[in-house]
Structure 1
Amino acid sequence: MNASGELVLAVAGGAIGDGRTGSVVAGIVALAAVGLGALARARAKGRLGGGPWPAGGTAAMAAALLAVALGVLHLATSTGGFGTGNGRAGAIVAILLGLLGGALGRAERAARSTTPGSR
């Protein structure tokens, strides 16, 4: 098999682990997006200090975008239905968590832009 064939196989989830690998990776990225969004939201509301990294909302939205993209990619390339062990339900949960993380990151950016003296 040539290198491009192996890359296609790896993206489709065929060469790396079992069928759940793609949804697990998407889920981990989605949980990171939710965590970053929650921390950024708490920082924007003044519950935490300013911290050394004020761009938490942007990082949460970027991680959320990646999580949603990975979840959709896994759903598009997986075969079988629910209960077959291929990670379809995990990919859907990752998409939902990614959307939540993106919403938290966007809310932080909106709160920061309306706070006087935040720029």
Structure 2
Amino acid sequence: MSASAVLAAAAEGGIIGDGRTGANLALGVGVLGLVVGRLALARAGGRIGVGNARVGGMSAIVVGTVGTVLAVLHAATSGGGPGTGNGLVGAVVAIPLGLGAVLLGRRVLTRCRRADR
């Protein structure tokens, strides 16, 4: 199975489940990206001494990008409008969550670069 087929199946909710499954997956990945980005930002600021802030920032960027892609795919493939039970509203909410995780990861990498100088 190709990567595009896997992403399309995940965005549509997979084989099992209703239309909201893909949106819930995108929401979960977006929130996970925000949590990873926030922890990495705390590491970069010196408030948490465990782990590497640069790796956390890169992880937040990757997870946020995956969440955003899943949300956009689900929003593009969901039938009907808001309130029909297809998860369109969840996908629309997941897009800024994923983008927020990407921005947090970028902020962490910027702080790490400044600290290295």
TM-score (norm 1): 0.85
Does residue 52 (structure 1) correspond to residue 32 (structure 2)? The answer is no
Q: Secondary structure at the match of 1:68?
A: helix
What is the identity, as a one-letter code, of the residue corresponding to 1:107? Answer: R
Q: Counterparts of 1:81 and 1:33 in 2: how far apart (Å)?
A: 27
Tell me which residue corresponds to 1:69. Answer: 69
Give per-residue Cα distances to partners, 1:3-38, cap 9 Å, x unaligned.
99xx68x71336220000000000110000000000
Letter in 2 for 1:104: L
- Counterpart residue number, 1:26: 26
Secondary structure at the aligned position of 2:71 is classed as helix
- Over aligned residue pairs, what C-alpha RMSD do you find? 2.0
Counterpart residue type for residue 61 of structure 2: M
- Structure label with greater radius of gyration: 1
Runs of 4+ more than 3 Å apart: none
Count of residue pairs brought into register by the alignment: 111
For normalisation by structure 2, the TM-score amounts to 0.86
Q: Percent identity?
A: 46
Richer in helix (by share): 2
